[in-house]
């Protein structure tokens, strides 16, 4: 039964990875993040244990075996930095930067080791590890090579743990920046990557213990079936969420991108008087036009609506009003919601959508953060204070 499960998983993993790679490369928008995602899936396909069996004494078997040995190590070590680059592409504001060469040190070493392994004669290659396990003496060069090859595994898993920390720090800063650009951020916060990083961290930590401590003793903490299932689950999560994720800090369309570009002036060019006029404009569109009701309101769309450059709006919000864009808009949304909770009989969900929130959960979170109460508790307390029946409809 377990053998059948492993065969199914071994077949599903490369198929899903290859299919997801084709979908990622086929996307026409957000080229950088889509291509990086496609490359990630290709690497997963390369390192997947294909359910193929060849006689290494045949030409086909020798070529296939050499390719597996030659590509597995560099592909494995390149996965972590490539996933980090993918997260950078999703969270970057502005043009991409050339990655530092330090990200490629371990993959380069693995590529050299993989090439050397692929060029070894089949008999020598197959005898390397069995000789090391049985204590059979090996030439010094081959002994050093075996040690390097065995260290690549623990080093790869340790590298994943380092990149998980780097990605977590990157995402924390990214979510703070979202509040400067969007009134509703829940669809762009990339919390699915946090869950994915948690899965990867558990996988890497267990395999690091296996590779560094238990494998030399012939023990294992992660059964092969669990390893396959966990790998398949990680790839499926990446496929389901990654293929539909767009970068969060780029304007939604070209027209808004041009608006953003035209507003790149020095902060010192905006006087206090100009900031005050912009602040009055911002307050007016919220109180008179109730622009906060637009669930997709962003800094760029507000900029187009009032004819003020995005960076001027940001500077005014920060220096004159002392708020982020997110806090400014949601403050007006919560103010309107409080009035409706007291004066109307709408349900909480209806009010949440009416004032511009995308979901009930986002409304509850913002309302509680700003008032210290849930919407239902606020409605009940207001009706009690007014002498009304506190058991009235609360949504």
CATH number at residue 345: 1.10.10.60
Whether residue 300 contacts residue 254, with contact meaning beta carbons closer than 8 Å, is answered with no
Regarding whether 129 and 276 lie in a shared domain, the answer is no
Regarding whether 236 and 349 lie in a shared domain, the answer is no
Residue 133 has pLDDT above 90, yes or no: no
Regarding whether 143 and 25 lie in a shared domain, the answer is yes
Regarding whether 204 and 64 lie in a shared domain, the answer is yes
Is 72 within the bounds of a domain?
yes
Which range among 109-113, 137-141, 337-341, 391-395 shows the weakest confidence by mean pLDDT? Answer: 391-395
Average pLDDT value for residue range 91-118: 91
Average pLDDT value for residue range 373-386: 83
Is 176 within the bounds of a domain?
yes
Cα angle value 219/225/229 (rounded, 5°)? 130
Cross-strand bridge partners of residue 298: 182
Regarding whether 339 and 228 lie in a shared domain, the answer is no
Q: How far is Cα 317 from Cα 328, in angstroms, rounded to an integer?
A: 8
Cα angle value 109/112/116 (rounded, 5°)? 140
Residues 6+ apart with CB under 8 A from 94: none
User: What are the tens digits of pLDDT across the range 259-288?
Assistant: 444 444 444 567 888 999 999 999 999 999
User: Which one is predicted more confidently, 250 or 243?
Assistant: 243
Model-wide pTM > 0.75: yes
Q: How far is Cα 367 from Cα 394, in angstroms, rounded to an integer?
A: 15
Q: How far is Cα 22 from Cα 17, in angstroms, rounded to an integer?
A: 9
Q: Say how many domains are in the chain.
A: 2
Distance of CA 314 to the CA centre of its chain: 26
The pLDDT value given to residue 2: 60
Is 393 within the bounds of a domain?
no
Regarding whether 349 and 311 lie in a shared domain, the answer is yes
User: What are the tens digits of pLDDT across the range 283-328?
Assistant: 999 999 999 999 999 999 999 999 999 989 999 999 999 999 999 9
Cα angle value 102/107/110 (rounded, 5°)? 135
Give the residue ranges of DSSP H helices in the chain: 2-25, 31-47, 59-91, 105-119, 122-134, 140-178, 191-209, 224-242, 254-262, 272-287, 299-306, 310-316, 325-343, 348-354, 360-371, 375-385
Give residue 156's domain range. Answer: 2-242
Is 394 within the bounds of a domain?
no
Regarding whether 209 and 331 lie in a shared domain, the answer is no
Regarding whether 262 and 287 lie in a shared domain, the answer is yes
């Amino acid at each position: 039964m377990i053998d059948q499960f492993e065969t199914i998983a071994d077949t599903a993993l490369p198929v899903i990875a290859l299919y997801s790679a084709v979908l990622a490369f086929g996307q026409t928008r957000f080229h950088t993040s889509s291509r990086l995602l496609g490359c990630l899936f290709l690497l997963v396909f390369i390192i997947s244990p294909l359910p193929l069996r060849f006689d290494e004494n045949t030409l086909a078997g020798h070529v296939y075996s050499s390719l597996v040995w030659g590509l597995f190590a560099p592909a494995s070590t390149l996965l972590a930095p490539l996933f980090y680059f993918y997260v950078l592409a999703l969270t970057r504001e502005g043009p991409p930067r050339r990655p530092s060469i330090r990200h490629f040190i371990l993959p380069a070493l693995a590529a050299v080791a993989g090439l050397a392994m692929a060029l070894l004669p089949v008999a020598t290659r197959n005898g390397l590890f069995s000789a090391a396990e049985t204590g059979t003496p090996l030439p010094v060069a081959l002994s050093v090579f075996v040690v390097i090859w065995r260290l690549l595994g623990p080093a790869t898993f340790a590298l994943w743990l380092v990149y998980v920390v780097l990605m977590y720090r990157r995402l924390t800063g990214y979510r703070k920046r979202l509040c400067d650009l969007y009134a509703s951020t829940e669809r762009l916060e990339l919390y699915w990557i946090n869950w994915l990083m948690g899965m990867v961290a558990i996988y890497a930590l267990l395999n690091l213990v296996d590779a560094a401590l238990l494998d030399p003793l012939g023990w294992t903490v992660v059964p092969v079936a669990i390893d396959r299932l966990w790998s398949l689950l990680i790839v499926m999560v990446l496929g389901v969420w990654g293929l539909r994720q767009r970068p969060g800090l780029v304007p939604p369309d070209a027209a808004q991108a041009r608006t953003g570009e035209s507003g790149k002036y020095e902060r010192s060019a905006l006087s206090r008087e100009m900031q005050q006029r912009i602040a009055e404009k911002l307050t007016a569109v919220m109180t008179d036009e109730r622009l906060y009701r637009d669930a997709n309101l962003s800094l760029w769309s507000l900029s187009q609506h009032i004819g003020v450059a995005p960076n001027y709006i940001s500077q005014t919000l920060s220096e004159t009003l002392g708020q982020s864009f997110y806090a400014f808009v949601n403050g007006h949304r919560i103010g309107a919601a409080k009035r409706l909770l007291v004066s109307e009989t709408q349900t909480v969900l209806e009010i949440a959508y009416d004032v511009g929130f995308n979901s009930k959960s986002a409304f509850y979170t913002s309302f509680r953060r700003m008032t210290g109460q849930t919407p239902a508790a606020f409605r009940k307390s207001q009706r009690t204070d007014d002498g009304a029946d506190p058991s009235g409809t609360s949504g």
